[in-house]
Amino acid sequence: MATTEAKLTEILKEIVKNYPGEEDRIIKAYEYMASKHGNQKRISGEPYVVHPLLVAQKLANLNMDIVTVVGGFLHDVLEDTDATYEEIAKLFGKDVADIVEGVTKIGKIKFKNIKEAQAENFRKLILATAKDIRVVIVKLADRLHNMKTLGYLRWEKRIRIAEETLEIYAPIAHRLGIWEIKRELEDLSFKYLYPKEYEKVRNFVSQSLENLEEYLKKFVIPKVKEELSKANIKADISYRPKHLYSTWQKTIRKGISLEEVHDLLGVRIVVNSIGECYTVLGIIHNIFKPVPGKFKDYISLPKSNLYQSLHTTVVAHKGRMVEFQIRTEEMHLRAEKGIAAHWAYKEGKDFSRSSEIFSWLRDLVDNIKGSKNPSELLDNLKRDLFSEEVFVFTPHGDLVVLPRGATPVDFAYHIHTEIGNHCAGAKVNGRIVPLNYRLRNGDQVEIITSVAKNPSPDWLKFVVTSRAKTRIKQYLKQLEKERYLSEGRRIFEKIRESLNLSYEELINRIRPNVNFKKEDDLFIALGSGRLSPNKLISLISSRKKEKTEKIKIEGGGKVSVEGLSGIMYEIGRCCNPVPGDEIYGVITRGKGMTLHEKNCSNLRYVMENFPEKVLKADWKPQGKFKTRIRVKAKDRIGILSEITKHIADGGSNIWESFTKTTREGLAIMDFTVDVTDKKHLEKLIKSIETVEGVENCSRLYI
């Protein structure tokens, strides 16, 4: 298709005609663009200027505003010429410069391995990158013309672009409701991606259409026209073939053959009012027999994108089925141009539908929350369509979707926990940025890691993803745990030294008093301050009455006194009898009985003065029983730890100890220990007496 100079001028004139009063601006844009592109040629061999001119023409046909049309003229100058943003802004205004910049940005997005799941993200990316929705519309017009000249490119490139068009751009056109562009993009992609199927569908449709068209002209249209004029209804009647790609899709979706697709051609009747739509419907149903179940009222119940129309299929002459679509002009405009219809309405100064269009726009684009002032929105349509998300890339060009406000640290944790945990710095688009930098759409992010670098509590102040937050907290908790552990070990060691005990000895003394599973838990408690060293020392050295009794009662012992059994008793604190001792019970008023060992001085006193109160007792409980011993030894370094070791080795716990040194240099050490019985105690005493320097060890009474 050679485009002559004359043809170019003709197109330019046509555009100018659509925008009365804007001739100077349009000519200026064209000339600026032509001078910038100079002698550049398209791969097709045509002068480069043809492309921007045709893109601008498409935008004019969509009734876009003048800013968008000028943007169409200039859309490639930033990328392909020495033009700058500032220059465009100065000559044509900031809006135009922003549109051109936006289109250029989208062009730079790399589409690598478009997987099903990623395709939707790419679509969102494009809509989000273009803060002004007009950017997307220019991009669609640009893509449409590129698709029309795709045949000049190499095979692989054709496939890649056609795939991208079908997966990314056609769905965007669909979402924005711009049917004109969607249809063409799909059919052109279809042609390059599935050439055989395309040819098959095209041949079939064109053959059937010939017949169909003739049929409609002969048997259907005249009849309808006649009836409508009788009813005094002015209507625009047209017919348009269903596009090839959707026809093919229908055969696949419904599992039918091409012959079975009967709505290849639909008759469209456009009238002036909603009332007339229903009148026309009645007329059609009067002329032809409607097919049951084929009538759809999208006027009362619009589709989710606010598409409105009446659809009905009827049986016409010779039993053929024909589909009718009946709608008003406004409905038609919206159905064809989608979002672009907004500018068409604006030209007509009809603002009454503002809120309706707004809600339609809202339905079109998901993820829009928190509505702003609708009229303000309509005035400029500059908004983030996907305000909650930001779309960025890895250095390999993979797309990563993060919540808005995300930082390189969020990005790093998104990639891998280890990358997050060792994130030392970040480069965005090749430049070093601070870690709290807020990522922007299209940023390419590279994380610099270092094994020496670890998460900092400060990161929690700026990360936004829950993943990053959780991982950082986990790390910090672990770090804290390790710190507590080493601090706890240090405290433990100090206590150990001050008590002159071995590690095991100290642990053995703590165990009955403090409930812990692993020794690390004990250290963490000490290190974190939950268990103070003073508290610990007092716990292992104090003697608690309840504990003592608990242990004894657990033994299940009963005392029987001279034939009586099951008598309530207490253990004499003075002598601390153990099983195996010769025992006497002393009856105390209100308390029952207290048990004493035979040699106890208290017992002897009662025996001498109140013999009636003393009874011989038989006591054979099981368990561990506290008692006291006194060790006299030479005071030498390490002797205490040796003695405690012997006690522990003998299977006893130390509950309390008290040490003093006499003037003669003798150490007197009193211990409260627990034993199972008298034999155990005697063995323990003998064992202690083997320690070098111990002069004697004996049971201690008060």
Q: Is 142 in the site for Mn ion (CB under 5 A)?
A: yes
CB-based contact 74:51 (threshold 8 Å): no
Per the CB < 8 A criterion, the answer to whether 558 and 566 are in contact is yes
Q: How far is the CB of 51 from Mn ion (least distance, A)?
A: 6
Nearest-10 Cα torsion for 439, 445, 449, 453 = -10
- Nearer residue to Mn ion within complex by CB, 74 or 277: 74
Q: Is the distance from CB of 449 to CB of 424 less than 8 angstroms?
A: yes
Q: In this complex, which beta carbon is closest to Mn ion, that of residue 142 or of residue 674?
A: 142
Closer to Mn ion by Cβ: residue 76 or 180:
76
- Binding span for Mn ion by CB under 5 A among 75-83, 492-500, 571-579, 625-633: 75-83
Instruction: Confirm or reject binding of residue 76 to Mn ion (CB under 5 A).
Output: yes
| Least distance from Mn ion to the Cβ atom of residue 142, Å | 4
Identify the three-state secondary structure at position 428.
strand
39 or 113: CB nearest Mn ion: 39
First to last CA, the chain: 121
Using the contact rule CB under 5 A, the part of the chain among 32-40, 140-148, 195-203, 587-595 near Mn ion is 140-148
Q: Which is nearer to Mn ion, 76 or 323 (CB)?
A: 76
Q: How far apart are CA 313 and CA 472, in angstroms?
A: 63
Residue span binding Mn ion (CB under 5 A) among the ranges 19-27, 139-147, 235-243, 545-553:
139-147
Options 121-129, 138-146, 420-428, 480-488: segment touching Mn ion (CB under 5 A):
138-146
Quote the least distance from Cβ 216 to Mn ion, whole Å: 39
Sequence-separated contacts (24+) of 153-156 with Cβ below 8 Å: 153/43
- Residues ≥6 apart with Cβ < 8 Å to 687: 646, 649, 650
Would residue 79 show up in a list of annotated catalytic residues for this protein? yes
Residue 52 or 171: the one with the smaller Cβ distance to Mn ion is 52
Task: State the residue number with the nearest CB to Mn ion.
Answer: 142
CB of 64 to Mn ion, least distance (A): 16
* Contact between residue 675 and residue 658 where contact means Cβ atoms under 8 Å apart: no
Of 381, 336, 375, 339, which is closest to residue 355 (Cα–Cα)?
375
Two structure tokens written together for 100: 């051109």
CA distance 299 to 306: 9
Amino acid, res. 617: A
Q: Is 80 a catalytic residue?
A: yes
Q: Residue 262 contacts by C-beta under 8 Å, 6 or more apart in sequence?
A: 313, 321
Cβ atoms within 10 Å, residue 648? 20
Residues in 303-342 at the binding interface with Mn ion, rule: CB under 5 A: none
x/- map, 556-595, Mn ion, by CB under 5 A: ----------------------------------------
Q: 327 exposed, middle or buried (CB, 10 Å; 0-12, 13-18, 19+)?
A: buried
- Among 23, 46, 80, 520, the one annotated catalytic: 80
Q: Given the structure tokens 């959707």, which residue do they identify?
A: 246
167 near Mn ion, judged by CB under 5 A: no
Distance of CA 528 to the CA centre of its chain: 34
User: Which of 79, 347, 356, 366 is flagged as catalytic?
Assistant: 79
Q: Which is nearer to Mn ion, 15 or 224 (CB)?
A: 15
Minimal distance, residue 9 CB to Mn ion, in Å: 21
Binding status of residue 389 toward Mn ion by CB under 5 A:
no
- Other CB atoms within 10 A of residue 464 CB: 18
In the bound complex, what is the minimum distance in angstroms from residue 68's beta carbon to Mn ion?
14
Compute the Cα dihedral for 278, 281, 287, 289 and give only its sign. Answer: negative
Q: Which residue number, 76 or 389, has a Cβ lying nearer to Mn ion?
A: 76
Structure tokens at 158: 């054709």
Q: How far is the CB of 378 from Mn ion (least distance, A)?
A: 28
How far apart are CB 119 and Mn ion at their closest, in Å? 22
Piece in contact with Mn ion (CB under 5 A), picked from 70-78, 162-170, 480-488, 498-506: 70-78
- Shortest distance in whole angstroms from residue 184 CB to Mn ion: 16
CA dihedral 136, 138, 139, 140 (to 10 degrees): 90
Strand (E) positions, 459-610? 559-561, 564-565, 569-571, 583-588, 592-597
Mark the segment that binds Mn ion (CB under 5 A) among 136-144, 197-205, 538-546, 567-575: 136-144
Q: Distances from the Cα of 126 to the Cαs of 58, 65, 102, 172, 396, in angstroms?
A: 20, 21, 9, 9, 19
Nearer CB in complex with Mn ion: 132/142: 142
* Residue span binding Mn ion (CB under 5 A) among the ranges 71-79, 281-289, 366-374, 687-695: 71-79
Residue 101 binding Mn ion, by CB under 5 A: no
Which residues, at least 6 apart from 450, have a Cβ–Cβ distance to it below 8 Å? 422, 424
Question: Which residues participate in catalysis according to the annotation?
Answer: 79-80
Interaction site with Mn ion (CB under 5 A) = 76, 142
